[in-house]
Amino acid sequence: MRRLEGKIAIVTGGAGGIGAATARRLTSEGATTVIADLDLERARAIAAEIGSGATAFHYDAESVDTVEALVASTVARFGRLDILLNNAAITTPQIQREDSTAVDITFETWDRVMAVNLRGYLAGCKYAIPEMLKVGGGAIINTASGSGLVGDLSRIGYGTSKAGVIALTRFIATQYGRQGVRCNAVAPGLILTEAAKESVPELIEMIQNHVLTPRLGKPEDVAAVVAFLASEDAGFINGETVVCNGGSLAHQPHSHDLAQYLEGRG
């Protein structure tokens, strides 16, 4: 399928698991893709692996000036911008430890999480939308998370930022949809990136018990949703959040316990 022929795309957090898979997918569908990340070395390696059609760019989502430079340099080099995937998120082990509960989280951690995960997305939209309007519209996709849909025992900043991403998506669609900008979100459940495979072995088993598919999610599953939302196949979809989690929020919270209970009764 080459639904994105001639399109210019930016993928933020493009050096990470989901971002890299999406950069590969968008490029394979014909887009020229800018892989933007804090980790320039890794972004360059992924761009080199993809080959012609992909380039790397260094930016920091926490610094809005660099987000502006990312959009400006993309347009200066390729002449236009059609697709933006806002996808970078702060996932360092230190932040994961410190982003805890309402009582324990520091305001510093909260502010950093919001700056990267939410303000960074707003900045992407703020600078990309005028460029998209110049060419009659475009597609923005924001990576949210299941953590933005339900509560959890830790990561209050992360979950709140992702709920904000879902709201941001609806506001952008409402404010610019009639001028041709479609803005949708994808909300992944646990996706087995290389990092996720290493960091949460016990959690993976717990989550597996609640997924309604025989396997867990892979970065390519999210990439496929993004490519669809970026394409004209999704031309009448705006302001939506597509949940990509194997159905893990689609059932009664007690379904797994009930299945075990019924099994135990024979």
Least CB distance to ligand NAD at residue 251 (A) = 19
Least CB distance to ligand NAD at residue 125 (A) = 15
By the rule CB under 6 A, 22 interacts with ligand NAD: no
Interface pattern 30-69 for ligand NAD (x via CB under 6 A): -------xxx-------------------xxxx-------
Q: CB-wise, 160 or 193, nearer to ligand NAD?
A: 193
3-class state of residue 216 by DSSP: coil
Locate all alpha helices (DSSP H) within 79-119, ordered by sequence. 93-98, 107-114
Q: CB-wise, 94 or 179, nearer to ligand NAD?
A: 94
Least CB distance to ligand NAD at residue 185 (A) = 10
- Structural contact between residues 128 and 81, judged by C-beta atoms closer than 8 angstroms: yes
By the rule CB under 6 A, 196 interacts with ligand NAD: yes
By the rule CB under 6 A, 16 interacts with ligand NAD: yes
Q: Is 158 annotated in the active site?
A: yes
Q: CB-wise, 13 or 157, nearer to ligand NAD?
A: 13
Q: CB-wise, 138 or 159, nearer to ligand NAD?
A: 159
Locate all alpha helices (DSSP H) within 51-186, ordered by sequence. 64-78, 93-98, 107-114, 120-134, 156-176
Distance, in Å, from the CA atom of 5 to the CA atom of 231, rounded to the nearest integer, reads 10
By the rule CB under 6 A, 231 interacts with ligand NAD: no
Q: CB-wise, 151 or 266, nearer to ligand NAD?
A: 151
Least CB distance to ligand NAD at residue 71 (A) = 14
Neighbouring-strand partners of residue 57: 36
By the rule CB under 6 A, 225 interacts with ligand NAD: no
Q: Which of 104, 82, 118 is nearest to 10 (CA)?
A: 82
Residue nearest to ligand NAD (CB): 16
By the rule CB under 6 A, 184 interacts with ligand NAD: no
Q: Which of 121, 127, 158, 176 is catalytic?
A: 158
Residue reference for tokens 């070395």? 41
- Structural contact between residues 187 and 208, judged by C-beta atoms closer than 8 angstroms: no
- Structural contact between residues 215 and 191, judged by C-beta atoms closer than 8 angstroms: no
Measure CA of the first residue to CA of the last residue in the chain; give whole Å: 48
DSSP 11: E
Q: Across the chain, how many H-helices and E-strands are there?
A: 11, 7
Q: Which of 145, 160, 184, 241 binds ligand NAD (CB under 6 A)?
A: 145
Q: Which of 26, 54, 113, 191 binds ligand NAD (CB under 6 A)?
A: 191
Distance, in Å, from the CA atom of 98 to the CA atom of 78, rounded to the nearest integer, reads 40
Distance, in Å, from the CA atom of 155 to the CA atom of 161, rounded to the nearest integer, reads 10
Residue 196 tokens read as 């996720």
Residues that bind ligand NAD (CB under 6 A): 13, 15-19, 37-39, 59-62, 87-91, 116, 143, 145, 188, 190-191, 193, 195-196
Catalytic residue positions?
158
